[in-house]
Amino acid sequence: MQIGSFDNDGIVFLIAFLLISGVFAAKFSSRIGLPSLVLFILVGMLIGSDGLGFVYFDNAELAQMVGILALIIILFEGGLQTKWKTVREVALPSISLATVGVLLTSLITGFAVHYILDVSWYEGLLFGAIVGSTDAAAVFAALKERNIKAKMGATLEAESGTNDPMAVFLTLIFIELLSQPNTSLWIMIPSFFWQMGIGLLLGLGIGKLASFSINRINLESSGLYPIFTLSFGFITYSIASGIDASGFLAVYVSALVIGNSELTYRYSISQFNEGFAWMAQILMFVILGLLAFPGHVFQINVITQGLIISFVLIFVARPVAVFLSLIKMKYTMKEKIFLSWAGLRGAVPIVLATFPIVAGIENAVLYFNIIFFVVLTSALVQGSSINTVAKKLGLMGPVKDTPHHSIELISIAKANAEMVQFQANNDNAVVGKKLKDIEFPTRATISAIVRGDRLITPYGDTEIKPGDFLYILVSRKYKEELRKMLNEKKNKD
């Protein structure tokens, strides 16, 4: 890797330029409906050696390491934001898509690649395995600001968060078979169940440990809690990978457990991880853009072959995999069509495409260029039209609510208190009551009520109405008691 003639100050400036460019690219992409990852990648290609020539980068090992670190951060943030009550309803179909769906997509695409590129069966199947999974970074980013029906969003997010083990497993299998032709395929199959099972158990265990630790430890600064939380993501991945289990699955599951636990400092943790995930996305896609040389990616033969493979992947392999994976599951025809269309490819296939290069597989650079083009095609065609397709199929949901969170006091570590936000709805027992008639826990005081666009100063005669946001200052000792009281349902007798 060479960074032109930059000194240390120039390198720092370049990093700042990339982050600022990424922020504006994200803002611009949301306005035109284009996935931000496309613009991040284009920024990388623009400043690369085939563009403005600021940076020469061809280190596949470093790109792979950066990609893995970024995916850990992105998966962790995605798990923290995912609500278990929504995912629970789609757990079985999501797992089916993440395993059977990825296998079918890989096989169908691999068979097509065998004929399109005129390569061996194993080489074709290796290509299919690399592009077989949907990408968590792309899916989380695409759905974050869109009002897709909760069931559809949960299915796609759960699938993309759990399908990496199958893709990695298949990729490593075919690399091994190409490197060591005498290797038996059947010997490798038990390792898949080990990766999935142990990855799941580790994620559950470390997630519970992390939740317990976050709530019990008393740090001097609230700013340390998000760092402490994220460290569990890296620990989870390293332990899982160290024993040949699925690190990505373990990270997502542990974050799911943490995010659905009753956490102190939730707001600080959530805000920090969201910002850090954006930074990881920007840097990862820019570096992957640097790794791809436009002069190689946009050759006539790469474009032609890439378009044919993209067509097979988008219009044949993914739909067949979705429809077969969801047999006898409660999904309508329209929902299956949407899930078929919304199977975005992104960072994971590009990162996996570096594995054959590092392993020294023949034609690995050609695979990388075509896979890179396929990812761009998927992001441009599918990613930019998700909203349109959802509207056409009648799968748009309501406008997303303001998230429920706790707002910590600046001096919270010393005050040992939190400002809790709660949105009242028709089922809550407190709705329709006056504040003076509600028995709040000890050391719990309503500081403000937000009703629509109005800020209401609370008095004893103030009546709580559906949709009100209550901001309650409470001692951490009584937070759980307050939560139970607020969530108490009306007596319908």
* pLDDT at position 74 over 50: yes
* pLDDT at position 405 over 50: no
C-alpha–C-alpha distance, residues 68 and 61, integer Å: 11
CA 82 to chain centre: 9
pLDDT for 403 equals 44
Q: In what order do the strands lie in the sheet with 444-451?
A: 406-408, 417-423, 469-475, 444-451, 454-456
**C-alpha gyration radius of the chain:** 24
* pLDDT at position 481 over 80: yes
* pLDDT at position 324 over 90: yes
Predicted confidence band at 242 (pLDDT cuts at 50, 70, 90)? very high
Predicted confidence band at 125 (pLDDT cuts at 50, 70, 90)? very high
- Strands 406-408 and 469-475 come out as unpaired
Q: Which residue has the higher pLDDT, 488 or 491?
A: 488
C-alpha–C-alpha distance, residues 79 and 117, integer Å: 38
The per-residue pLDDT of the chain, averaged, comes to 83
Residue 288 corresponds to which tokens in the numbers above?
């992957």
Predicted confidence band at 4 (pLDDT cuts at 50, 70, 90)? very low
Q: Which residue has the higher pLDDT, 195 or 14?
A: 195
- Asked if 376 and 42 touch (Cβ cutoff 8 Å), the reply is no
pLDDT for 397 equals 66
C-alpha–C-alpha distance, residues 239 and 162, integer Å: 18
Q: For 311-320, b where at least 16 C-beta lie within 10 A, e where not — what string?
A: ebbbeebbbb
* pLDDT at position 136 over 80: no
170: Cβ contacts below 8 Å, ≥ 6 apart = 102, 103, 106, 125, 128, 129, 132
253-282 average pLDDT score: 85
Give the pLDDT confidence of 17-32 residue by residue, as tens digits: 778 877 777 777 666 6
